[in-house]
């Protein structure tokens, strides 16, 4: 969803530059099947209720995780979030056509690990408060994925993947995925019973993450922030991280897949331990891998929406062709989607 901003005049005593977040409660969004009032109120709820509850819990435990990995509003007033102007800090979005290098992906996963670990510890120590926080965080994406048009699109994309697997003669995986397709609806829309967290996004793609300009050109002193919490909900942590990994992992980094999972889980368990709980009791690595087997395909499905838009592929290719020799469109499309096949092969060989 595109956030809309408009400038407001700051108080004379404070010369900082501010902008006010504004989304009409009747305005349509890219998730048009979801009530825009829900999206509008969800972000307000996260900033005014959920984030303060998790932050205060950490302070009680003398763990000062100050939510420094989210874009924070300067002030909340009359139903609006007042922001410091993010542009003033020279932050930019990642180019969604580019895969992400391993160090940055690890940093993002660790950032998610700190949040998920904090929420799991909060749930374990304060189950009633956690249940109260989750009352308004029902699964909004279940509405999106219940749309007949969306289901038809998923079926079309899934069929294309099966065709590509056949092309590389992985008929063993074709059979496995054909069986898995029958349970795909449950993976996308079912409520999470075991190990629920309050997900950062449910919509965890790079347009909802901003990077410092320095970070885009160097892996040193990485500064990255999550923003846009319109779809946050009670969910499996696997959906957050599988979306991020499968959409943006370099095909060569798939060889380091276990390292990525360990990097995330290590940060999560360190956070739980700092908050006074036993991580092996709450979310041991063995259980984490079991959950990945169940929910990891969420990231694969979301990847299809990100990379199977031919109109964007060809537009991007046309821009590249200006200084290149003529390239066959079918060859470009195959190379562009080659990473998709490698991701499906990796998941199929390890988790099906």
Q: Would 238 be classed as within a structural domain? A: yes
The pLDDT, as a whole number, for residue 266 is 97
Neighbouring CB atoms inside 10 A of 87's CB total 12
The pLDDT, as a whole number, for residue 8 is 35
Q: Would 138 be classed as within a structural domain? A: yes
Tell me the H-state helices in 190-296: 213-217, 237-248, 257-274, 279-282, 285-295
Question: 20 pairs with which residues across the strands?
Answer: 6, 82
For residues 117 and 338, which has the higher predicted lDDT (pLDDT)?
A: 117
Kindly state the helix (H) or strand (E) to which residue 230 belongs, with its residue range: none
Question: Could you give the angle at the alpha carbon of 203 between the alpha carbons of 103 and 250, nearest 5°?
Answer: 30
Integer Cα distance of 103 and 114 in angstroms: 17
| Contacts with 349 (C-beta within 8 Å, 6 or more apart), sequence order | 173
- Which structural domain range is residue 129 located in? 89-351
Domains in the chain, number = 1
> Which of the residue ranges 79-88, 140-149, 336-345 would you say has the lowest mean pLDDT?
79-88
User: pLDDT of 278-334, one tens digit each?
Assistant: 999 999 999 999 999 988 999 998 888 876 655 444 444 444 443 443 434 555 566
Q: Would 27 be classed as within a structural domain? A: no
The pLDDT, as a whole number, for residue 135 is 87
The pLDDT, as a whole number, for residue 333 is 61
The pLDDT, as a whole number, for residue 38 is 74
Question: 76 pairs with which residues across the strands?
Answer: 81
Neighbouring CB atoms inside 10 A of 163's CB total 10
Mean of the pLDDT values across residues 29-44?
Answer: 68
User: pLDDT of 254-266, one tens digit each?
Assistant: 989 999 999 999 9
Q: Would 79 be classed as within a structural domain? A: no
Q: Would 10 be classed as within a structural domain? A: no
Q: Would 315 be classed as within a structural domain? A: yes
User: pLDDT of 2-33, one tens digit each?
Assistant: 333 333 333 444 433 334 343 334 444 445 55
Q: Would 153 be classed as within a structural domain? A: yes
Q: Would 75 be classed as within a structural domain? A: no
For residues 151 and 122, which has the higher predicted lDDT (pLDDT)?
A: 122
The pLDDT, as a whole number, for residue 148 is 82
Does the pLDDT of residue 275 top 90, yes or no? yes
Pair 56, 65: CB distance under 8 Å: no
Does the pLDDT of residue 127 top 90, yes or no? yes
Mean of the pLDDT values across residues 113-118?
Answer: 93
């Amino acid at each position: 969803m595109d956030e809309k901003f408009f400038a407001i005049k700051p108080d004379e005593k404070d010369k900082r530059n501010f902008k006010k977040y504004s989304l009409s409660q009747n305005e349509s969004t890219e998730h048009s099947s979801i009530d825009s009032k829900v999206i509008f109120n969800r972000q307000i709820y996260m900033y005014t209720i959920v984030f303060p509850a998790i932050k205060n819990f950490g302070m009680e435990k003398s763990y000062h995780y100050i939510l420094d990995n989210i874009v924070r509003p300067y002030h909340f007033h009359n139903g609006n979030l007042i922001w410091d102007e993010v542009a003033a800090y020279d932050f930019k979005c990642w180019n969604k056509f580019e895969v992400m290098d391993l160090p940055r992906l690890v940093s993002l996963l660790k950032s998610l690990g700190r949040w998920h670990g904090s929420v799991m510890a909060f749930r374990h120590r304060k189950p009633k408060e956690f249940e109260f926080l989750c009352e308004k965080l029902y699964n909004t994406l279940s509405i999106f994925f219940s749309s007949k048009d969306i289901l038809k699109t998923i079926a079309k994309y899934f069929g294309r993947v099966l065709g590509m697997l056949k092309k590389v003669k992985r008929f063993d995986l074709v059979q496995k995925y054909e069986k898995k397709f029958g349970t795909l609806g449950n993976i996308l829309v079912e409520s999470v019973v075991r190990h629920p967290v309050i997900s950062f996004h449910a919509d965890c793609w790079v347009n909802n993450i901003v990077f410092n300009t320095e970070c885009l050109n160097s892996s040193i002193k990485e500064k990255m922030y999550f923003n846009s919490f319109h779809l946050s909900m009670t969910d499996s942590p696997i959906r957050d991280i599988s979306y991020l990994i499968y959409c943006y992992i370099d095909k060569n980094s798939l060889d380091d897949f276990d390292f990525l999972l360990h990097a995330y889980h290590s940060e999560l368990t360190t956070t739980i331990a700092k908050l006074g709980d036993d991580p092996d009791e709450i979310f041991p690595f063995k259980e984490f891998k079991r959950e990945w087997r169940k929910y990891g395909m969420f990231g694969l499905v979301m990847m299809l929406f990100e990379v199977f838009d031919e109109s964007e592929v060809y537009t991007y290719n046309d821009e590249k062709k200006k200084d290149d020799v003529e390239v066959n469109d079918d060859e470009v499309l195959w190379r562009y989607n080659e990473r998709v096949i490698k991701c499906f092969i990796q998941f199929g060989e390890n988790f099906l």
